[in-house]
Structure 1
Amino acid sequence: MRAGRPGRARITALAVLAIAALLVPGAHAAGAGIQEDDEDGGPAAPAEFSYAQKAIPGQPLPRHAYDTAAAQAAALHATPGTWQPAGPANIGGRVVSLALDPARPDTVYAAAASGGLWRSADAGKNFEPLWPAQQTQAMGAIAAAPDGTLYAGTGEPNPGGGSVTYEGTGIYRSTDRGRTWQPAGLRDSGAVGAIDVDPRSPRRVLVAATGSLYNAGGDRGVYLSDDAGSSWRRVLDVPNGYTGAVDVQRDPANPERVYAVLWDHRREPDKRTYGGTGSGVYRSDDGGAHWRRLGGGLPTVGSGRIGLGVARSEPGRLYATVGATDGTFGGFLTSADGGDTWSRLPDNPSLTDSQSSYSWWFGKVWVDPADARHVHVAGVALMTTKDGGTTWTAEENAVHADQHAMIWDPRHPGRLYLGNDGGVYRSDARGDGGWTKAVYEPWTQLYTVAATPQDTGRISGGAQDNGSIRSWGGPRFNEYLGGDGLQNLIDPTDKNKVYACYQYGSCFRSTDGGNTLTEYTDSTTADRRNWLTPVQFDPVSPNVLYYGGNRLNRSTDGGATWQPISPDLTGGPGHDTYPYGTITTVAAARDGRTVWTGTDDGRVWITRDLGAHWTQVLAGQPWVTRIAVDPADPTTAYVSLSGYRSGSAQPHLLRTRNAGTSWTDLSGNLPQAPVNDVVLGAGGVLYVATDQGVFVGAAYGADGRARWLRLGGGLPLVPVSDLAYDPANHRLVAATFGRGFYTFRAP
């Protein structure tokens, strides 16, 4: 369904030599329970995974956590060298907003959830980047004014879905069609759900400020600017600190009439509240200056997310899809009088099913400008009615699942563009079939990466809502296992022996590069499996593999059969949300006896006799993302930890040289953000992947703290989820969450 060369730059010899200083004794530990090295001796919803991983247990994500950490990362010096994009260009990823250029035919703008802003000049076939690489890549909305001015709102308004919701830094404006951008206010809006520009006055702009998902307050509600974003005033306030405006739309038949949707939404460590008394639809009859809440059949006590569609061809005709507070379908309504009164249309099983149990992920209705009875509704499938909501059909095969954005092209009757979790699609048949997918859209959200020394062009990885993808098996990247793509492996001695998983440890093996797959999940022993279940090779023999549920499993025949070699290594199941007691990382040493594991509840274990006995060597930490073992010493290991810290003393990276008897904090000047991976390069060089890019250990400072440098240039400001180190070809391959794979020439 759904290929690049590594860069040539190298890290300087100084950086390689300096890392040796990072590995010498003498660093002082930071954080509770961390000591100086002793030199002598029930499934949760998909959105739970990344949120729980990146939050400290029992704490919400700190306010401005991502933005603060990004500034810390930008302040660090960079080593020489340049990251090179390595695809995929054809898979795509989540698109949350679309806009058309008012003067240039066939020019469409697409905002990717965590991949920046893009422009196509050939009617949605090929896209080019239009957003600064070192600005936040989290996008919420894009709009084009009649004079060509572009307004971009940062921060995704959708509350996760296999990912954490990254907040933005406000509104930006471009007067040269995206070549340059200037800040235009509302920096504390958290996320932006929609932007509306008055067609009669291009400097008059309305913004739906959605607010932070994690913290109360900030810029929330509907804001109006009369001077192209130089100043703003809030024209529609919110009833509580967790209500935000998720949509604002102008009536195409009456520019003075504007509609807005407010929505209560809050993510806490132990629950989601995606509805409440603040949720509702509002109308202004004076261009946005004054507002009143609409009732007449709409929920007034409390609801989930509401999607609103306004008809052009029949003034006063509106449609609304209402989500229930538990995320299920709450009803489809219509109004013939501009929203004063509403009638509920018959419930339809296919429309109900399209919302699944997460109507908060959609909340969009689009009405055909030429036919008020022809309506599309966002859901897992694209839902369509041609009779105003009496009957429905589902577009389940021609376009990717999970719909988020649509725009009709007035120059081409019948043409519209659709944005979903698979990227951008175009239909010239009013959205009733005739779909074509963009062929160049390099903004895939990746969880994992696998590379092989046998072929530098062979890369695979797990992609959010786009399955396990590979660079071989066709002329372009293609999906070879569905679902949310998660752990991927390529046998370093046989590139045709591959492994892939989707959510909750459903894992497969193949001996022909993934063309045929055999599931082995049922051969493993576990009571609980993480959404991203770890599967790892033994460093000596790739026929030996490890699989972590809540117990560790081992295979000696390439994954055909498995045996448990541990008891439950966690604190047991949680309650309704993560952490609920699973192994998150496995690392075997080269001695054939020592194996390390880490868990989602902050525990690290070691066995020195291949599972006969286990010792817990760390507890009470944040989520353990990765463990790397020194290839020359099985008692030396590095542990990376997740969680945004907001200045706390908890560590990001720990080292032990005595099998976990004592630990040294190597976090140093790393950004206060999750460390998602740690790998050891040639000569003991440490590389870490974080939500703010990749860093390389440099030295100790005068204060005894570890010092880190940004690794090279050319990598956008995007989370890096996973790293693969290929010593034979001197390269790193990074999986980014929003910009695909990147490679770097390393020692």
Structure 2
Amino acid sequence: MAVTVTGLLAPAAPASPAASAPAATVGRLRGPAAPAEYSYLQKAVPGQPLPRHAYADAAAQAAALPEAPGQWQPLGPANIGGRVVSLALDPQRPDTLYAAAASGGLWRSADAGRTFEPAWPDSATQAMGAVAVAPDGTLYVGTGEPNPGGGSLTYEGTGVYRSTDRGTHWEPVGLRDSGTVGAIAVDPRDPARVLVAAAGSLYTPGGDRGVYLSTDAGGSWRRVLDVPGEFTGAVDVSHDPADPDRLYAVLWDRRREPDKRTYGGPGSGLYRSDDSGTTWHRLDLPAPAPGTALGRIGLGAAASEPGRLYAITGDADGAFTSFRTSADAGDSWTALPDDPALKQSQGGYAWWFGKVWVDPERADHLHVAGVSLLTSGDGGTSWRAEGDAVHADQHAMVWDPRRPGRVYLGNDGGVYRSDARGDSGWTKAVYEPWTQLYSVATTPQDPGRISGGAQDNGSVRSWGGARFNTYLGGDGLQNLIDPKDKNRVYACYQYGECSRSTDGGDTMTSFTAATTADRRNWFTPVQLDPARPGILYYGGNRLNRSTDAGRTWQTISPDLTGGPGRDTYPYGTISTVAAGGDGRTLWAGTDDGRVWTSPDLGAHWTQVLGGQPWVTRVAVDPADAAHAYVALSGYRSGSPQPHLLTTRDAGRTWTDLSPGLPQAPVNAVVPTPDGTLYAATDQGVFTNTGTTWQRLGSGLPLVPVTDLSYDPANHRLAAATFGRGFYGVAVR
């Protein structure tokens, strides 16, 4: 279906090793929280703040470029899913559900969550924060994901939008400076009375922050709950289901810097309004232990017992601190037992969840968001985890008032439905095409064979079953297919845990232990030699080489980085590897901005660039190993440096190829034998045949493209998008 929206729209000097800038550092990260930092650090530069509207400005630049011929086609997966941050039911149409995907747009289901169709334009930002439906069917979305991490960088949006035809057409209705939107609440008695929880930018202060009220369906807004700090935002607002004049809001201090993460503070708190959101006062929710800042708060209110509330709290480091209940709408609180399941469910990153849902018919029947979905049948005294019944990492839930016992759940695996009050009987949507992909691999031996690494959904492949299936777990990252043997495949999950297979992935054998590294990137690069695919390269902080398809490995470089960062997060790692077609030349780039080359398979190394942003990709001209391209990231911290460089003399001199590209990270670059260049960016795919840049083809949503795979035998290019799955286009 068509969906439209109206109203939108100098190269760094080469550095010697001695002159290289010092390695950037990262802040205090602990345990499972660390994976959330990868893509943020990739796009950040220490000491350089994010310019407001950087993403939207880059999108406008991309849209203004001329278009090269081509028609992108979605290639799947449609059954894997991805992170869903908000859900809403249509009050006028039974079994109609809206799902907001974190970086995949808005989707509508007319069959009770079984299948979904787009309800948001491909040409607008795909970053979503909240969705709500008014009693008259008017649909609202708030763009920009308020969650502060996840293997992805969570993208900011462009404000609040309204649709009066269930998502066919949209118009912007303000709060463009909200950065991210945590929630939208529509008065159940007055569809024109709308409240928005504006969370603000995670990276820069100010903007539209707090709770905003519109009494004319978004025509105008006034802030009714201000924030106490420049990095405080509203992450939730909701009506009390037992009293629509009463509302609750959650404020939260949150800020991300390249070397520091602040996910709590004195601005975090719980607020109540007793006059439909006109005035607010802070509730005395007990803080964590002395000296510990209050982090994100999750709140649930009971419809069947007026005044009954439940609240879960965490500290600024992401640890669970308490679960409490109130019988008087938050005037006083009672601590409930600290069941070990609560602590385990938060996983050390309580800032990723912050949600409590109460059964509308039973005030003692609760669900809490966490790694696992937690359920209590006794008012929070005891808990049980759903375990493998649903995917991990819960973010959204909505109860269907038309269907007693029916509840929908949104998590990192997509949308689920239960007709047993969420206690059991979960079924997953069968069509939900919004997977966040890190990589793509194709083979000339079989144009229908495609695989890639998916955020929190493992390494997925198109073969081995009737639909896409996962053949290696974890967060799927590097995937490769041997171009001369389609059954010889490689797949990795986080921090370089990689495996090989000779039967297409049916059986996987790990080879990580055979490699040597002090530090391994979240996305550890593994690459095949272009002429001899039985030779592989694996980058930790030193480069490893295998001549027997990954069975054994030898270290062929010193540490190519500036050393580790200040904490346990793996920093100071090789981020990209490339081999020349001459069988001798090697290239490597690092996360701390260094580029190296070796003319003799690692016997000698020369640093040819330093002091750059994160090096996302090095690619080599198939016909000339001295002709290389270096793709860079870092614009989200306002980096003035270019994002695509090239050298024709093995790194002695460099040319900036960035002019004409949108000012955005370049995530991958592919040079072809005929001289065409393809660049994957946060704003789509662009091509250059030697003169100017053009957008490649039509039909590709406005979504970050993380990787490209070029198949010259079949004249096609495949793209991994971070939020809309794989796309393919025919090329010359």
Cα-to-partner distance string for 1:174-214 (whole Å, 9 max, x where unaligned): 00111100001111000110000001100000110010000
- Is 1:259 the equivalent of 2:239? no
SS in 2 for 1:86: strand
**1:285 is aligned with what amino acid?**
D
Partner of 1:173: 162
The question of whether the paired residues in 1 share the 8 Å contact of 2:520 and 2:570 is answered with: no
* Identity level (%): 76
- Is 1:141 the equivalent of 2:126? no
State the distance in 2 between where 1:369 and 1:307 align.
17
1:470 maps to which of 439, 461, 465 = 461
Number of equivalent positions:
706
Moved over 3 A (4+): 296-302, 645-649
Partner of 1:204: 193
1:597 maps to which of 588, 591, 600 = 588
- Is 1:427 the equivalent of 2:407? no
2:705 maps to which of 714, 720, 726 = 720
How far the C-alpha of 1:729 sits from its partner, in A, is 0.4
SS in 2 for 1:188: helix
- Is 1:731 the equivalent of 2:711? no
Partner of 1:343: 334
State the distance in 1 between where 2:285 and 2:526 align.
55
**2:698 is aligned with what amino acid?**
G
1:740 maps to which of 691, 708, 725 = 725
Q: Classify 1:176/1:338 alpha carbon distance in 2 versus 1 (closer, same or farther; 3 Å).
A: same
The question of whether the paired residues in 1 share the 8 Å contact of 2:44 and 2:637 is answered with: no
Unpaired runs of 5+ residues, structure 2, are 1-9, 16-28
How far the C-alpha of 1:647 sits from its partner, in A, is 6.9
- Is 1:571 the equivalent of 2:558? no
How far the C-alpha of 1:281 sits from its partner, in A, is 0.5
- Is 1:164 the equivalent of 2:149? no
State the distance in 1 between where 2:364 and 2:569 align.
44
- Is 1:290 the equivalent of 2:279? yes
- Is 1:105 the equivalent of 2:94? yes
Q: How does 1:516-531 map to 2 (within 5 A)?
A: 516-531=507-522
- Is 1:324 the equivalent of 2:309? no
How far the C-alpha of 1:167 sits from its partner, in A, is 0.3
Cα-to-partner distance string for 1:318-338 (whole Å, 9 max, x where unaligned): 000001111010110000001
2:108 maps to which of 111, 115, 119 = 119
**1:443 is aligned with what amino acid?**
W
The question of whether the paired residues in 1 share the 8 Å contact of 2:43 and 2:637 is answered with: no
State the distance in 2 between where 1:120 and 1:539 align.
44
The question of whether the paired residues in 1 share the 8 Å contact of 2:287 and 2:294 is answered with: no
Cα-to-partner distance string for 1:426-479 (whole Å, 9 max, x where unaligned): 000000010000000000000000001111111000000000000011100001
How far the C-alpha of 1:58 sits from its partner, in A, is 3.3
SS in 1 for 2:236: strand
State the distance in 1 between where 2:686 and 2:62 align.
9
Cα-to-partner distance string for 1:40-64 (whole Å, 9 max, x where unaligned): xx98701111001011233233222
CA RMSD after TM alignment: 1.4
How far the C-alpha of 1:576 sits from its partner, in A, is 2.6
Could you tell which deviates more after superposition, 498-507 or 59-68?
59-68
- Is 1:611 the equivalent of 2:602? yes
Q: Classify 1:350/1:225 alpha carbon distance in 2 versus 1 (closer, same or farther; 3 Å).
A: same
Q: Classify 1:290/1:649 alpha carbon distance in 2 versus 1 (closer, same or farther; 3 Å).
A: closer
SS in 1 for 2:157: coil
- Is 1:708 the equivalent of 2:693? yes
SS in 1 for 2:728: strand
The question of whether the paired residues in 2 share the 8 Å contact of 1:264 and 1:277 is answered with: yes
Q: Classify 1:328/1:246 alpha carbon distance in 2 versus 1 (closer, same or farther; 3 Å).
A: same
Cα-to-partner distance string for 1:685-729 (whole Å, 9 max, x where unaligned): 0000000000001444xxxxxx31100110000000000000000
State the distance in 2 between where 1:698 and 1:75 align.
18
**1:209 is aligned with what amino acid?**
A
Partner of 2:365: 374
Unpaired runs of 5+ residues, structure 1, are 1-29, 36-41, 701-706
How far the C-alpha of 1:361 sits from its partner, in A, is 0.3
State the distance in 2 between where 1:649 and 1:427 align.
50
How far the C-alpha of 1:32 sits from its partner, in A, is 3.5
**2:13 is aligned with what amino acid?**
G
State the distance in 1 between where 2:40 and 2:412 align.
19
State the distance in 1 between where 2:273 and 2:723 align.
37
TM-score, normalising length from structure 2?
0.95
The question of whether the paired residues in 1 share the 8 Å contact of 2:95 and 2:109 is answered with: yes
Q: Classify 1:295/1:645 alpha carbon distance in 2 versus 1 (closer, same or farther; 3 Å).
A: closer
1:280 maps to which of 248, 254, 269 = 269
2:399 maps to which of 408, 412, 417 = 408
State the distance in 1 between where 2:641 and 2:596 align.
19
The question of whether the paired residues in 1 share the 8 Å contact of 2:11 and 2:641 is answered with: yes
State the distance in 1 between where 2:641 and 2:285 align.
52
Q: How does 1:338-737 map to 2 (within 5 A)?
A: 338-576=329-567, 580-644=571-635, 649-700=640-691, 707-737=692-722
**1:464 is aligned with what amino acid?**
Q
TM-score, normalising length from structure 1?
0.93
How far the C-alpha of 1:297 sits from its partner, in A, is 3.8
More strand by share: 2
The question of whether the paired residues in 1 share the 8 Å contact of 2:48 and 2:639 is answered with: no
Cα-to-partner distance string for 1:297-336 (whole Å, 9 max, x where unaligned): 4669840000000000000000000011110101100000
How far the C-alpha of 1:517 sits from its partner, in A, is 0.6
- Is 1:81 the equivalent of 2:70? yes
